[in-house]
Amino acid sequence: MATIAAPEAEFRIPSAIREERPPRKPSDSQLAAARGLPNNKEAKWPSYTTKLPASLYVDQDRFDEEHLKLFMKLPLPLAPSAYLAEPGSFVCRDGFGQSVILTRDKEGKVHALVNSCRHRGSRVTDNADPEKGRLMVCPYHAWSYDLSGKLAGVPRREVFAELDKAELGMVKLPCIEKGGIIWVKMDHLADDDFSHVSDELAIDLDALGVADMHMFALNKHEVEGNWKLILDTFLEGYHVIRLHAASLGPLYEDTVTHVDRLGSHLRQTSGRIGFTQEILAANEDSIDDLRSVVTYVYTLFPNAAFVISQDYCNLLIMQPKGMGKTVVHNFMLTNLNPQGEKLRRKWQKSLELTDGTAFPEDFAASAATYQGLTTGVVKELMIGGMEVGMKHFHELLEEKMETA
Ligand code: FES
Ligand SMILES: [Fe+2]
């Protein structure tokens, strides 16, 4: 089978281990996007200039409006399913202005609960890593809740007159698990319309087998920049061989990126180094082979980039803490369970190359851009023909802001 030299190519996953993940077909639209790409050597980029106002990134009113219209209204991707894989486990996720407990009950159903005890309001858990357990016990006076949030126990219950346990469950947030991702609405009064988590996106994520992937690492980064500046770095390939010249750059070349809207989300498709349609034809029967010749990057609107590499993925979720302050959680997922030492070492190298080197370069560029824009001198940003994903994202963003 024709393959493209890739950073991971020095290590082939033994076929006995590969059997753990049976071959999956790509979705029709993943395949169509790849078949529409030119050979890298024949790439021709569109020529245009789109302008974005700098105030998108450095205006406090705009930031507050985005918080209300996007972050408090839309279902947000909070974690991949693999992060909370075990039935009977729970974990605390802080962000978006409140602390949330994600649980997976014994039946495997996921719940999202506001992390606030119904006795006197304390946080119930600080657990940053998933923990197995039947009950969550508030550390203050030991009220306990089951994994669906029901109040299960009150010490010295007789000292509370008229206490109805059925009415004192933890407050629930609307939540859904779809495409291998847990989506939560941050407003507990919101309805449970999850049409935003579009079927078109779920078809792709299911073809990738995201729900069956394995957690390899979760890393947190604090970035002194607006959340959209970080997302922008995952919306164009123009910078790759330039900003990343000393890291990833030599493994890539300038390529044409094809962008599709999948309901409320975006997919960018581009050929890896040396891509030709002939190489594609030899690798298009299974999604895992396809991923060795084509890179897909999804934007889970509004605030996550999902980068699909050859046999692992990075889900980067941006949590705005302020106009110029963002926390990024990077969940690295692997196709296979990384039990063996060899596999673990291989993916550890990939983690160092992405999370340890290239992503920090993106974050530094975002922070530097934020600083530059706050001078107020540059009133407009320019987007050219190699930044087509950014153009699509900002059009989508304005549509959502108008209709919210
Ligand atoms: S505040 Fe939780 S038990 Fe008292
Ligand atoms: Fe980058």
Any idea which ligand is nearest the CA of 143? 1
Report CA(220)–ligand 1 centroid distance (Å): 29
pLDDT band at residue 10 using 50, 70 and 90 as cut-offs: very low
pLDDT value, residue 15: 55
Residues 327-352 have a mean pLDDT of: 94
Q: Is the pLDDT of residue 52 over 70?
A: yes
Based on the number of CB atoms within 10 Å of its own CB, is 221 exposed (0-12), middle (13-18) or buried (19 or more)? middle
pLDDT value, residue 338: 85
Q: Is the pLDDT of residue 331 over 80?
A: yes
Q: Which of 22-26, 79-83, 276-280, 326-330 has the lowest mean pLDDT?
A: 22-26
pLDDT band at residue 7 using 50, 70 and 90 as cut-offs: very low
pLDDT value, residue 13: 53
CB atoms within 10 A of CB 358: 21
pLDDT value, residue 3: 38
Among 114, 124, 143, which residue has the most ligand 1 atoms within 8 Å of its CB, making it the best to mutate? 143
Q: Is the pLDDT of residue 5 over 60?
A: no
Q: Which atom of ligand 1 is nearest to the CA of 141?
A: 3
Report CA(336)–ligand 2 centroid distance (Å): 25
Is the four-CA dihedral 291, 345, 358, 202 of positive or negative sign? positive
pLDDT value, residue 276: 97
Report CA(73)–ligand 1 centroid distance (Å): 29
Residues 6 or more apart whose Cβ sits within 8 Å of residue 364: none
Residues 292-308 have a mean pLDDT of: 98
In short, whether 119's Cβ falls inside 6 Å of ligand 1 is: yes
**Ligand 1, atom 3, residue with closest C-alpha:** 141
Residues 365-378 have a mean pLDDT of: 98
Rounded to whole angstroms, how far apart are CA atoms 27 and 208?
Answer: 9
Mean pLDDT value across the chain: 94
pLDDT band at residue 376 using 50, 70 and 90 as cut-offs: very high
In short, whether 145's Cβ falls inside 6 Å of ligand 1 is: no
In short, whether 140's Cβ falls inside 6 Å of ligand 1 is: yes
What pTM did the predictor assign? 0.94
Report CA(239)–ligand 2 centroid distance (Å): 7
Report CA(149)–ligand 1 centroid distance (Å): 14
Q: Is the pLDDT of residue 4 over 60?
A: no
pLDDT value, residue 131: 93
CA count, 13 A, side-chain hemisphere, 365: 18
pLDDT digits 0-9 by tens, 87-145: 999 999 988 889 999 999 999 999 999 999 999 999 999 998 999 999 999 999 999 99
Residue 27's Cα: distance from chain center in Å?
20
Residues 56-62 have a mean pLDDT of: 98
Rounded to whole angstroms, how far apart are CA atoms 38 and 363?
Answer: 30
Range list of β-strands (E), 224-310 = 257-262, 265-271, 294-300, 304-308
**Ligand 1, atom 1, residue with closest C-alpha:** 120
pLDDT value, residue 404: 83
Give the residue carrying structure tokens 């699509």: 392
Q: Is the pLDDT of residue 6 over 50?
A: no
CA count, 13 A, side-chain hemisphere, 2: 12
In short, whether 120's Cβ falls inside 6 Å of ligand 1 is: yes
Measured torsion, CA atoms of residues 6, 246, 222, 384, in degrees rounded to the nearest 10:
-80
CB 113 within 8 Å of CB 173: yes
Alpha carbon separation from 46 to 38, 257, 269, 276, 389 (Å, rounded): 13, 11, 16, 19, 12
Report CA(154)–ligand 1 centroid distance (Å): 9
- How long is the chain? 404
In short, whether 123's Cβ falls inside 6 Å of ligand 1 is: no
Residue closest to 200 by CA, chosen among 260, 267, 263: 263
pLDDT value, residue 143: 98
β partners of residue 92:
101
Report CA(268)–ligand 2 centroid distance (Å): 14
CB 359 within 8 Å of CB 254: no
Q: Quote the tokens at residue 387.
A: 């930044």
Is the four-CA dihedral 103, 109, 114, 116 of positive or negative sign? negative
Sequence-ordered alpha helix ranges (H) in 146-282: 199-208, 227-232, 240-243, 277-281
Q: Which atom of ligand 1 is nearest to the CA of 118?
A: 2
Among 122, 165, 171, which residue has the most ligand 1 atoms within 8 Å of its CB, making it the best to mutate? 122
